[in-house]
Amino acid sequence: MKTQQKNRICKDIKSRLYTALSKHIGPDAGWIQRHIASCPKCRNRLLLSSRVDVALQLIRSQPHSLDLLMRANCKTVSVLKHSLRYSSKAQKLKEALPEPTIFERLRKYRSAAANVAACVAILLMMKAGMFSSTEKFQNDGKNALRHYYASRVGDEIADEIFPA
Amino acid sequence: MAGQVNIAGLTWDVSIPEVLSGTQRWVLSAMQKHGPELVTMLWRILANEQDVCDAYQDTFLKLAHYQAGQKPQYVRAYVFRTAANTALSMLRHKIVERNRVRMLQTQSTTTANDLNSGLLQEKLRSCISRLPHNLREVVTLHDLAELPYGQVGKILDITPATARVYRCKAVRLLAVWMNKSEN
C-alpha cells in the first residue's frame, strides 16, 4: 500500500517536473527560438521535422466516408460464427455510425462554461471581500501619498492634488 | 450477458459471464467499443476504404480465433497491435506493387511538388512502413490513432517516457528519409 502511494507521488512529481521543464526547454522557449534563428544546422533540422508534422496533420485531416464503420462491421460480422452473426448486438453493429466523443459533444459549451466560471470566480472574490480590500489598499496608498506631499509642499497643494 | 435457465417449471433470467458462456460475445463488444477508433487508425494508414474493411475484418477474425477462441487478457492492446500490424503489412505490399508499376511505366512521374499534399502523405506512409518495428508501432498508435502516450505505453507494455523517446527517434528518421526521397 505504501509502495503504491510512493509510486503515485513519484509519478505525480515526474509529470509536474516535465510540465515545468518543458516551458523552459521546449521548442517554444525563447532561448531555443533565438538559437534556431542563428544556427543553420538546427534550423534545417526543425524544418525537416516540421515537414513530417505537416504530413501527419494532412493525413489526420483526411475524412473517411460516414458509412465506413458500418461497412467494415457488416463485412466482419458476415464471417463470424452463426450464433454471433444473428445476435441483436451484431444487428446494431451493422447499423453503427461513428459518434463524436463526449468531449467533442461538449466543445460547443466551452465558451459558455468559461463565462459562467469567470462570473462564479468574481462572485466568490466579492464574497471573500477581495474587492473591498483592494479599495482599502487604494485609499491607504492615497493617504500615504497625500501625507508625503503635505509634509513636503504643504497642505494646500496636497489638498489640490488629492481632493477629499 | 443474460441467459435463461428452467427451474421448477419456470424460466429464470440468469446473468452468465461473457467469457464462460462460450458464445464469444466479447468479440462483438470489442467491435462496438474499439471499432470507431480502429477504423480511423486504419483509414489513416491505408487511405483506401476497401483495404480498411479488409484489415478490420482480418483483425477481428484473428481476435475470434485467438488461442482457440479464448479471450485475450488485454483485448484493446491485442486489437490495436493486430490492426496496426495488418494494415502496415498491407501498406508495404501496396508500396511494392506501386513501385513495380511505376518502374514499368515509360513516362517518368517526377512531377514532385512541394504543395502536392497527396504526394507528401504517400511519402510519409511509405517512410512509416520502413521504420523499425518498435518506432513504427509508437508512431502508428500515437500519431495515427491519436492515443496519448500513457495508453500507447500500456498497449505496447513500455513506459510513457520510452514511448516519447521512440516517437522522437521515429520523427528524426522520418524527417531524414522524407528529405532523401525528395532529393
CB contact under 8 A, A68 and B125: no
pLDDT of residue B10: 46
pLDDT per position as a tens digit, A63-84: 888 889 999 999 998 888 888 8
Going by C-alpha positions, the residue among B133, B145, B141 that lies closest to residue B164 is: B141
Out of B35, B54, B179, closest to residue A48 by CB: B179
Q: Are B181 and B127 in contact (CB under 8 A)?
A: yes
Residues of A in contact with B31 (CB under 8 A): 73, 76-77, 93
CB contact under 8 A, B28 and A90: yes
pLDDT of residue B13: 46
Radius of gyration of chain A (CA): 32
CA–centroid distance for B20 within its chain: 28
Q: Is A84 on the interface with B (CB under 8 A)?
A: yes
pLDDT of residue B22: 57
CB contact under 8 A, B121 and A55: yes
pLDDT per position as a tens digit, A6-64: 778 887 887 787 777 776 777 677 788 888 888 888 888 888 888 898 999 999 998 88
CB contact under 8 A, A51 and B40: no
State percent of chain A over pLDDT 90.
Answer: 5
Comparing alpha-carbon positions, the chain B residue that sits nearest to A68 is B49
Say which residue the cell 516517437 belongs to. Answer: B167
pLDDT of residue B4: 47
Q: Measure A49 CA to nearest chain B CA, in Å.
A: 5
Q: Are A85 and A77 in contact (CB under 8 A)?
A: yes
pLDDT of residue A111: 81
CB contact under 8 A, A60 and B44: yes
CB contact under 8 A, A69 and B44: no
pLDDT per position as a tens digit, A88-109: 888 888 888 877 777 777 777 8
pLDDT of residue B20: 39
Residues of B in contact with A45 (CB under 8 A): 175
Residues in chain B: 183
Which of B42, B58, B121 should be substituted to probe chain A, the one whose Cβ sees the most A Cβ atoms within 10 Å?
B121
pLDDT tens digits, chain B, 183 residues: what are they?
A: 444 444 444 444 444 344 434 567 888 888 889 999 999 999 999 999 999 999 999 999 999 888 877 888 899 999 999 999 999 999 999 888 888 887 776 555 545 444 578 888 888 999 999 999 999 999 999 999 999 999 999 999 999 999 999 999 999 999 999 887 665
Q: Is A94 on the interface with B (CB under 8 A)?
A: no
Q: What is the complex's ipTM, to 2 decimals? A: 0.75
Q: Which residues, 6 or more positions from B16, have their beta carbon under 8 angstroms from its beta carbon?
A: B1, B2, B3
- What is the 3-class SS of chain B, one letter each residue? CEEEEEECCEEEEEECCHHHHCCCHHHHHHHHHHHHHHHHHHHHHHCCHHHHHHHHHHHHHHHHCCCCCCCCCCHHHHHHHHHHHHHHHHHHHHHHHHHHHHHHCCCCCCCCCCCCHHHHHHHHHHHHHHCCHHHHHHHHHHHHCCCCHHHHHHHHCCCHHHHHHHHHHHHHHHHHHHHHHHC
Going by C-alpha positions, the residue among B62, B33, B22, B10 that lies closest to residue B1 is: B22
User: In b/e form, how buried is each residue of A56-93, taking b as 16+ CB within 10 angstroms?
Assistant: beebeeeebeeebbbbbbbbbbeebeeebeebebbeeb
Which of A12, A56, A105 should be substituted to probe chain B, the one whose Cβ sees the most B Cβ atoms within 10 Å?
A56
Say which residue the cell 526543425 belongs to. Answer: A46
- Give the A window 46-75 contacts with B, CB below 8 Å: 48-49, 51-56, 58-60, 62, 64-65, 68-69, 71-73, 75
Residues of B in contact with A99 (CB under 8 A): 36
pLDDT of residue B181: 62
pLDDT of residue A1: 62
User: How many CB pairs lie under 8 A apart between chains A and B?
Assistant: 116
pLDDT of residue B106: 53
CB contact under 8 A, A68 and B39: yes
